[in-house]
Amino acid sequence: MKNKRKVFCCLTIVLAGVINCPLQAQQKIGTQDSLETRIVSAQVPKGIVRSIKQDKKGNIWITSWEGVFKYDGKLFSNVTSKVSSARFFSVLEDRKGNFWFASIGSGVYYYDGKSFRNYTTKDGLANDRVTNIYEDKSGHIWFGTESGASRYNAKSFRNLKMSDAPPHNETDSVHISFYQNQIPELHWTHNDVNAIIEDKTGNLWFATRGHARLYDGKTFSTITNTDGRPFTNVRSMIKDKKGNIWLGGADGLWRYDGNTFTNFSKNFVGYIYEDKRGNIWTSSESDKDKNWVLLRYEEKSLLDKNPAATEVASKRMIFGILEDRQGNIWFGSMDGVCRYDGKSITDFKALKME
């Protein structure tokens, strides 16, 4: 009985996530060798994590190249391991409490908590390479694909293209230097949708690997910055609590207040997130080296000429960002998921046995 209590206590400590370690030097976990610990560690995402969301019940959902994981506060579980081997990019919980998972190559998966349904081009989806999902004010689900955006109204898909460009083919490639030149209007990157957001007036913003576009329900217009140049390769967009639109990508970090654009950084920005206090978090390239940094822009300084930005973490790449109900900041990386409690960082892949 004493031995069982020891195993239970040991497991509880591991599951509580108290293994805090610097991102640059992962701490090893002793020689605990219980079967329970090995099972738990096997379910922790260790590969590329693209996005992180928290559902209405408080569960954390993590999309990765290894599948979609759910963390209930104690255990990680791979929800899609028996359904698909696809690489998953993003997750959405709709207003009805159902889940949607975007994948690269296998379309989207609908999950009602019990069973899955897969939607692909055979069902009307614009492309099976899907990177983002968005629900608008009317409850329509939008999917950003490599061939434009697909809107689903619970019955059928309606597809929109930002450009009449021919579809992408396997020989096409895009390098960083590509964005130093003007992108031809009939280039496939204009239809490769990275993010979708609806502004306070009801217009839809589409961020693509080409130009960012505004859609008023009838026509598309190209969004330009203060220099009159189109925003290119916008990777992330959010609408903050005040209704401002934030854009992050090849042109850096920008905010639109309904009248003017304000630039916060020239460095490439991958993800943007607003926490409960109104602070803006970004993953962006560092000024110092080739690493990426997790930055926090303080809400009280956002109107200043030089807003205060605090570097919280540094890694080779940083992806999706989330603040959970306890105020912890979660973020994905090339090798798993991490959690920041305001003082230290928990790297969950440290749960693996050495």
What type of residue sits at position 79? Answer: V
**Any idea which residue has 């009602």 for tokens?**
112
Give the residue-averaged pLDDT of 111-116: 96
Q: Which two three-digit tokens encode residue 160? A: 């929109």
Give the residue-averaged pLDDT of 22-37: 34
pLDDT at residue 155 tops 90: yes
Q: Which two three-digit tokens encode residue 121? A: 């081009």
- Three-state DSSP state, 73: coil
Q: Which two three-digit tokens encode residue 255? A: 């905010």
Please, is 343 exposed, middle or buried when counting C-beta atoms within 10 Å of its C-beta (0-12, 13-18, 19+)? exposed
pLDDT in tens, 240-290: 999 999 999 999 999 999 999 999 999 999 999 999 999 999 999 987 777
Please, is 2 exposed, middle or buried when counting C-beta atoms within 10 Å of its C-beta (0-12, 13-18, 19+)? exposed
- Contact yes or no for 109/125 (Cβ under 8 A): no
CATH number, domain with residue 34: 2.130.10.10
pLDDT in tens, 164-209: 877 777 656 655 556 666 787 877 789 999 999 999 999 999 999 9
What gap in Å lies between CA 65 and CA 56, rounded to an integer?
Answer: 24
Instruction: List Cα–Cα distances, 266 to 3, 27, 76, 285, in angstroms.
Output: 57, 34, 37, 10
Domain that holds residue 75: 2-351
Instruction: List Cα–Cα distances, 185 to 188, 195, 207, in angstroms.
Output: 9, 19, 15
What type of residue sits at position 342? Answer: G
What gap in Å lies between CA 237 and CA 339, rounded to an integer?
Answer: 22
pLDDT in tens, 67-110: 999 999 989 999 999 999 999 999 999 999 999 999 999 999 99
Q: Which two three-digit tokens encode residue 37? A: 């610990």
User: Residue 328 phi/psi, 5° resolution?
Assistant: -75, 150
- Three-state DSSP state, 167: coil
Handedness of CA 10, 16, 18, 19 (dihedral sign): positive
| Domain total in the chain | 1
Question: In this structure, are strands 269-274 and 280-285 parallel, antiparallel, or unpaired?
Answer: antiparallel
Question: Which one-letter DSSP state was computed for residue 200?
Answer: T
pLDDT at residue 231 tops 50: yes
Nearest to 51 by CA among 133, 137, 148, 138: 133
pLDDT above 90 covers what percent of the chain? Answer: 73
Helix axes 35-42, 2-15, angle to 10 degrees: 20
Predicted local distance difference test score (pLDDT) of residue 139: 96
**Within 146-260, where are the H helices?**
none
Instruction: List Cα–Cα distances, 302 to 102, 159, 255, 307, 309, in angstroms.
Output: 33, 37, 10, 5, 10
pLDDT at residue 297 tops 70: yes
